[in-house]
Amino acid sequence: MKLRSLITDPQKIRRIGYSLLLVLLFAVVGFLAYSFIHRTLIDPPVESERANVPPGQVIQIDLLNGCGVSGAASKFTNYLRARGYDVVEMKNYKTFDVKESLVIDRAGDIETAKRVAYALGVSEKNIIQQINHDYFVDVSVVVGKDFGALKPYRQ
């Protein structure tokens, strides 16, 4: 008898409908708040860090593992590609005892090398200019044993 009166009472049906609508509204607002917080605070958009690069110009990078740690160069590659750099080759350096990471200018544009160094967190004192017209890259990056202190590993 109570069930029948619950079903037939229009005020109770309306209250139940409003309650369900309110719960649904709270769920949608909660989801949107979570999505906003996650997108802006927890997983912020990737910064380009490629200021002053003319549109259409892609900085090509040769990445060399000079620390001997498996996967270190791969992490740097993913980090740079996410920021719009073109990592064209990834291989081992001639030795695995490089203490500090190096950025090597291969094309005669030291400003490009400085931009790459800034993007990685490499000190300007570790930027070297070795122009080599046989290389078809703008910059070479040698990942040293200090890789854990650089931006790809800090983020």
Per residue in 22-49, pLDDT tens? 999 999 999 998 888 877 776 555 554 4
Q: Which of 91, 97, 92, 41 lies closest to 67 in space, CA to CA? A: 97
Give the pLDDT confidence score for residue 73 in this predicted structure: 87
Q: Is 8 left (phi over 0), alpha (psi -120 to 50) or beta?
A: alpha
Assess whether pLDDT exceeds 60 at residue 52: no
Q: What pLDDT shows up at residue 127?
A: 95
How far is Cα 58 from Cα 32, in angstroms, rounded to an integer? 36
3-state helix, strand, coil in the chain (%, to 5): 45, 15, 35
User: Quick check: 60 and 80 in contact, CB under 8 A?
Assistant: no
Look at residue 4 in the predicted model and tell me its pLDDT: 60
Nearest to 95 by CA among 64, 126, 73: 64
pLDDT at 107 over 70: yes
CATH number, domain 60-154 = 3.30.70
Residue 48 has a pLDDT of 46
The single-letter code of the amino acid at 4 is R
- The band of 144, judged by pLDDT with boundaries at 50, 70 and 90, is very high
Digit-coded pLDDT (tens) for 115-141: 999 999 999 999 999 988 888 899 999
Element (H, E) at 27: helix 10-37
Distance separating alpha carbons of residues 120 and 144, to the nearest angstrom: 12
pLDDT digits (tens, 9 = 90+) for 56-97: 678 999 999 999 999 888 999 999 999 999 999 999 999 999
